[in-house]
A and B are shown apart, each in its own frame.
Chain A
Amino acid sequence: MSELVLSTKNLSKRFPVGRSGSFVNAVNGVDLSIKRGEVLGMVGESGSGKSTIGRTILRLTDPSDGEITFDGQDITTLPTKLIRPMRKDMQMVFQDPWSALNPRMKIGDLIAEPLRIHFNMSRSECNDRTEVLAERVRLSADFLNRTPSALSGGQLQRVCIARAIATNPKLIVLDEPTSSLDLSVRAGILELLQELRAETQAAFLFISHDLGTIKLISDRIAVLYLGRVVEEVPKDKLFSDPSHPYTQSLLSAHLPSDPNETLQRLTLQGEIPSPINLPTGCSFHTRCPVAINSCQSNVPEADEISPGHLVSCLRLKDGQNIIRRDLK
């Protein structure tokens, strides 16, 4: 049974720039869906709107346009009062564990906080559950009486994860949960997340800019460019059959794990355009090596080229979307 936990339709978020009347178009019409127990990875450069999507989905910021359906309910315009009890089922893990925890609270209280808010638990019940949670994320119970300053980054991220799974949520948004951690610590956290995902059956939205991390944990991957999903692809096809020119360039920037593999770089020219003045048509046309004139005026629709593999590129039609065949 693959019930939909979350879906968005045409989700957009604009931030006004001062009083100039112009806007930063952070997210521009994103359609996403995540099923129960599924991990959707989301990659993109800085400024591609990854984090904004995560925050908007959880209604930490209000969407400018579009719809968010969570667990069968339209939550797009649900007032804060009604969102609050729903937060039991949707939690978030932040990028920087050092600043995501109240520095004046004890670790035990931080982990128990979601329990205290959402459940009517007795004190001893709550303490027991907190200890179980700490153990589950492999955090020594000795830390429960300490404040965040006594813990390392990896330990703090374990605290954040314990908080996120405390209420058995249906959806957890993980906003680059490993990118601020040391490589050695990162592996432990990823391993933990993979275990939890199997255990909890929660849907994960895993945001990252690191393809290696994304590949390790995701079932499906959405590639973001300037607030739009340019390609949505099952994990096994990401590396074997990248179909959007942007995805291909991203992959070529990723170091292969085999040191003998020859590295063929496909370097994009120029900078990512300003999200204040979005390019017309396909937003990637300014840097796309295979762009043609119609790319400047027509916004590409998503085409399903194989089951679950959606690509938004005008050049799919004439088969010129693949930049260099030898890269594959």
Chain B
Amino acid sequence: MTGRSPSNLWTMARLGNRIRGISRLSPTATAGVIIILLFGVLALFSDMFMPHDPVSSFTDRILQPPSAQHWFGTDGNGMDVFSRVIYGAKFGFGIAIPAVIIAVLIGVPVGLIAGYRGGLLDEVLMRIFDGLRVFPSIILALAVVAATGQSLLNVVLVLGFLDSPVFARLVRSEVLALRSSIFVESAIAAGNPTWRILFLHLLPNSIQGAMAQTAVRAAWAVRISATLAFLGVGIQAPTPEWGAMIRQGAEFMVSGQWWVAIFPGIALILLVFGLNLFGDGIQDILDPRRRVSK
């Protein structure tokens, strides 16, 4: 027999066991993963699932209710809402993932240095980040995106920058606890330069909490980017982005054409929900105390 050699079956069985183990450990995380994977597949292979072009308008079928031809109906431009909702997943991930990566790339090194060096540098860095957190993030994001120019790239950069304090704080608090630990002193005694202590010794031992937060912060990024688009900043209609679609659909709500806004809204809620479930579940798995208390 080809393909199904015993070792192959064995690995598959082990993988199955592994998945079952994780799902027993945290059913919420599993539910989250399923939702995220679903949207991931839609985003990656949207061409296969979209029955119509998301930005071509059927001028003769404006604002049609859901039907066999247009499952989620059509919007004010006669565009297929179902196809647009599917295409919108690309924006959800396309903004959230790079934004979180930027936030981690800024926040983690800042947290490492602030926590390890302490003193004045720590004070200054943390007060700057406190300052960032004082403003409601939507208003700050709105102002910055409006000031720097309306582009997708700017939205990603601003979200990443605004979210970096979250990661900086998490890493910093871990480093503060680890700074005086013996293995760090032992690393100093061995002659490690500071960069090696930061990135080879402190980073691997302090990153766990920050990594567990990435899914939750991705949910935040999805939510804020959709809000920005809803407010007309960053991404503009008729780009098939969920926030922008909800904005378009909002004006038709009063006249009874609910499907234009409701379907992208449901997609948005589901993705944010999935990311949050996953993030919470991951934290449960990583933190034994939280697991026990359940």
State A61–B53 Cα separation when bound (angstroms). Answer: 68
Whether B204 and A114, one on each chain, are in contact in the complex, defined by CB atoms closer than 8 angstroms, is: no
Please choose the segment from A95-103, A133-141, A253-261 that sits at the chain B interface, where 4 or more of its residues have CB less than 8 A away: A95-103
Query: At the interface, yes or no: A160 with Cβ under 8 Å from chain B?
Result: yes
Contact with B along A83-112 (1 / 0, CB 8 A): 011011001101010011111110000000
Which residues of chain A are within 8 angstroms of B182 by Cβ–Cβ distance? 94, 96, 99-100
* Cβ-defined contact, B185 with A118, below 8 A: no
Using CB atoms, name the residue of chain A closest to B207: A104
Which of B106-114, B121-129, B191-199, B233-241 faces chain A? B191-199
| A60 is an interface residue with CB less than 8 A from chain B | yes
- Chain B residues near A160: list those with CB within 8 A: 186
- Residues 16-39 of A, flagged 1 when their CB comes within 8 A of B and 0 if not, give 000000000000000000000000
Interface presence of A58 (CB below 8 A): yes
Residue A87 contacts which of B189, B196, B201, B204 (CB distance < 8 angstroms)?
A: B189
Would you call A87 and B190 a contact (CB within 8 A)? yes
Q: Does B45 touch A at the CB level, under 8 Å?
A: no
Interface contact B204-A104, CB-CB below 8 Å: yes
Give the residue name and chain of the A residue nearest to B202 (CB): A102
Q: In B55-70, which residues have CB < 8 Å from any A CB?
A: none
Residues of A within 8 A of B192 (CB): 113, 117
Residue of B with least CB distance to A84: B191
If A100-B182, A103-B205, A104-B204 touch, does A117 touch B189 (CB 8 Å cutoff)? no
A256 nearest CB across to chain B (Å): 34
What are the residues of chain A within 8 A of B200 when measuring CB–CB? 102, 105
- A163 at interface (Cβ–Cβ under 8 A)? yes
Q: B181 contacts which of A92, A99, A113 (Cβ < 8 Å)?
A: A99
Chief secondary structure at chain A's binding surface: loop
B187 touches A102 (CB 8 A): yes
Q: Does B266 contact A (CB under 8 A)?
A: no
A260 vs B191: C-alpha distance when bound (angstroms): 49
CA distance A92 to B191 in the complex (A): 11
CA distance A7 to B186 in the complex (A): 22
Query: Is B188 positioned at the interface, with any CB of A under 8 Å from its CB?
Result: yes
The docked-state distance in angstroms from the alpha carbon of A163 to that of B183 is: 13
B112 to chain A, nearest CB (A): 15
The interface residues of chain A lying within 8 Å CB-to-CB of B186 are 92, 94, 100-101, 160, 163
Alpha-carbon distance between A113 and B201 when the two chains are bound, in angstroms: 11
Contact status B189-A91, CB under 8 Å: yes
Chain B residues with Cβ below 8 Å from A94 are: 182, 185-186
Size bracket of the A interface? 20 to 34
- CA of A285 to CA of B181, assembled, Å: 36
How many whole Å from A167's CB to the nearest CB in chain B?
A: 8
The answer to whether A117 touches B183, judged by C-beta atoms less than 8 angstroms apart, is no
> Inside 8 A of A58's CB, which chain B residues have their CB?
189
Q: Which of B181, B190, B193, B196 contacts A91 (CB 8 A)?
A: B190
Task: Tell me, in angstroms, the Cα distance from A60 to B201 when the chains sit together.
Answer: 17
Bitwise, A57-99 to B at CB < 8 A (1) or not (0) is 0101000000000000000000000001101100110101001
Instruction: Say how far B290's CB is from chain A's closest CB, in angstroms.
Output: 21
**Chain B 178-228 interface residues, beta-carbon cutoff 8 Å to A:** 181-183, 185-193, 196, 200-201, 204-205
Given A94-B186, A101-B186, A103-B205; A117-B191 close (CB under 8 Å): yes
Partner of A114, one of B183, B185, B190, B205: B190
- CB-CB under 8 A from B205, the residues of chain A are 102-104
The answer on a CB contact under 8 Å between B181 and A60 is no
A162 → chain B closest CB, angstroms:
11
Nearest-neighbour CB distance to chain A for B108, whole angstroms, equals 15
CA distance A58 to B188 in the complex (A): 10
Which residues of B are found within 8 Å of A100, using beta-carbon distances?
182-183, 186
Residues of A within 8 A of B191 (CB): 84-85, 87-88, 114, 117-118
By a CB distance below 8 angstroms, the chain A residues around B185 are 55, 60, 94
Task: Report which of B190, B193, B201 forms a contact with A163, defined as CB distance below 8 A.
Answer: B190
Q: Which residue of chain B has the shortest Cβ distance to A55 in the bound complex?
A: B185
**Across the interface, do B183 and A60 meet the contact criterion of CB distance under 8 Å?**
no
User: Do the beta carbons of B193 and A60 come within 8 Å of each other?
Assistant: no
Complex CA–CA separation, A87 to B196 (angstroms): 15
When distances are taken between beta carbons in the complex, the residues of chain A under 8 Å from B193 are 84, 117
Residues in B whose Cβ lies below 8 Å from that of A87: 189-191
Contacts of A105 in B (CB 8 A): 200-201, 204
Give the one of B186, B187, B188, B200 with max A CB within 10 A: B186
Name the CB-closest residue of A to B193. A84
Which 10 pairs show the lowest CB-CB distances between chains A and B? A87-B191, A104-B204, A92-B189, A99-B182, A100-B186, A102-B183, A100-B182, A117-B191, A114-B190, A102-B201
A-B contacts, 22 of them at CB < 8 A, read: A60-B185, A60-B188, A84-B193, A85-B191, A87-B191, A94-B185, A94-B186, A96-B182, A100-B182, A101-B183, A102-B183, A102-B205, A103-B183, A103-B205, A104-B205, A105-B201, A113-B190, A113-B192, A117-B190, A117-B196, A118-B191, A163-B190
Interfacial residues, chain A to chain B (CB-CB below 8 A): 55, 58, 60, 84-85, 87-88, 91-92, 94, 96, 99-105, 113-114, 117-118, 160, 163
Known: A91-B190, A94-B185, A114-B191. 17 other contacts (CB 8 A): A60-B189, A84-B191, A87-B190, A88-B191, A94-B186, A96-B182, A99-B181, A99-B183, A100-B183, A102-B205, A103-B183, A104-B205, A105-B201, A105-B204, A114-B190, A118-B191, A163-B186
